[in-house]
Structure 1
Amino acid sequence: MPASTVETVELAKAYRLLNHGPTVLVSSAYGAQRNVMAAAWCMPLDFEPPKLLVVIDKSTFTRELIEASGEFAINVPTQAQRALTVAVGSDSGRERDKFAELHITTFAGDTVAAPLIEGCVAWLECRVIPETHNQNRYDLFIGEVVAAHADSRVFSAGRWHFGPEHDALRTIHHVAGGAFFVTGPMMDGGAD
């Protein structure tokens, strides 16, 4: 891992990295090829083993690499990465290397070959659980989370804690037409 603030998240709490509905960056790799795309439709699915759902259109290069490799990574970007999120979600990586063109720095995960993107606040390494019907009909992929990591400045002890000192690290939420919301202040619900 690149920074001392990146820590392993226990798999039993990995769902909490996505439970608040952030826009994500889906990274993939197969052989010498790699790609990244933005996705607004990603959510936790199950606890044991931890699973998530993500919608990946059949026309994308990312999907080709995922289908070839059987794995992918979910990266949770920050509001400081909004322009990057829009850029990787606007064009295909089939004819160009988005990582080189957009100067995206990556690091290796623990388990999957898909690159993890520096500057994000959470990373989930996933293996595809084959569900051909769902993939073909609904573009819906189920991933088993095999490793999870988070930036301890904003996620530790199984909880997000966005404070004013880390406003740039707040996650973003796409609401259509290029508009985003940013994760707001924490409200205590009184339950654990």
Structure 2
Amino acid sequence: MTIITSAHNGRSNVMAASWAMPLDFNPPKVVVVVDSRTLTRQLIEASGVFGLQLPSRKFAAQTLAVGTNAGLAIDKFSAFELETFAAEKIEVPMLAGCITWMECKVIPDDSQRHDLIIGEVVAAYADSRVYSNNRWHFGDDPDLRTCHYVAGGTFFATGEAFDVSPAANALSASPASR
């Protein structure tokens, strides 16, 4: 589950988005799906930028609220008392209750007709309690785990980490055994 923030000409919006993924590393790019009929989409198209955030388990209620209410009808930031901070490189509010934040500039592409938006990540940062030294390290605090939406108000949280030996991924030298 991700949260997308957008803004243009003094108006801003926030929505939950299940469909988001990394696309490339250099430069870093992401793809998000945002319905063309939403306020979020209108603001992204007008401004050319958006914020992409990962909510924590502690932020699940707000995630559900921003995902089930339309920004055309209400100001979700006020209605759900969402705390924000200024992005570093783009003019979009970022949500304080999340654990990672990405600032993205839209890359124009024909895929937008399919509600896909490609964004170049121009800034990214994470809560140091869960990410440092290029690794995730979810500790004992369940409220700091990322949450993922299933349906009907049900979420699950990232579980316990485990390592797999690199030897387990080694291919056999024999082509016949592959």
- TM-score w.r.t. the length of structure 2 is 0.90
Distance (Å, rounded) in 2 between the aligned partners of 1:145 and 1:189 = 30
Q: Which amino acid aligns with 1:160?
A: W
User: 2: CA distance between counterparts of 1:40 and 1:65?
Assistant: 19
For the pair 1:149 / 2:125, whether they are aligned, the reply is yes
Residue 13 of structure 2 aligns with which residue?
Answer: 35
2:98 match: secondary structure: coil
**Does the alignment pair 1:163 with 2:139?**
yes
Q: Secondary structure at the match of 2:143?
A: helix
Query: Is 1:134 aligned with 2:140?
Result: no
For residues 160 and 18 of structure 2, what CA distance do their matches in structure 1 show?
21
Letter in 1 for 2:121: V
CA distance in 1, matches of 2:7, 2:32: 17
CA distance in 2, matches of 1:58, 1:168: 33
Residue 76 of structure 1 corresponds to 54
Q: Percent identity of the aligned residues?
A: 51
Counting matched residue pairs gives: 166
For residues 155-186 of structure 1, what are the alpha-carbon distances to aligned partners after superposition, in whole Å with 9 as ceiling and x for unaligned?
0111110011x210100112234322110001
Could you say which structure has the larger radius of gyration?
2
Answer yes or no: is 1:89 the counterpart of 2:84. no
Q: Kindly indicate whether structure 1 or structure 2 has the higher relative contact order, using CA contacts under 8 Å at least 6 residues apart.
A: 1
**Structure 1 residue 119: deviation in Å?**
1.7
Mapped partners of 2:17, 2:151: distance in 1: 12
* RMSD (CA atoms): 1.0
Q: Where has structure 1 moved over 3 Å in runs of 4 or more?
A: none
Alignment-derived partner of residue 175 in structure 1: 150
Stretches of structure 1 that go unaligned for 5 or more consecutive residues are: 1-22
**Aligned amino acid, residue 131 of structure 2:** F
The offset of 1:189, in angstroms, is 2.3
Give the counterpart letter for 1:175 in structure 2.
V
Aligned to 1:16: none
Provide the residue aligned with 1:13 in structure 2. Answer: none
Corresponding residue to 1:119 among 91, 94, 97: 97
One-letter code of the match for 2:111? N
Q: Unaligned regions of 5+ residues in structure 2, if any? A: 167-178
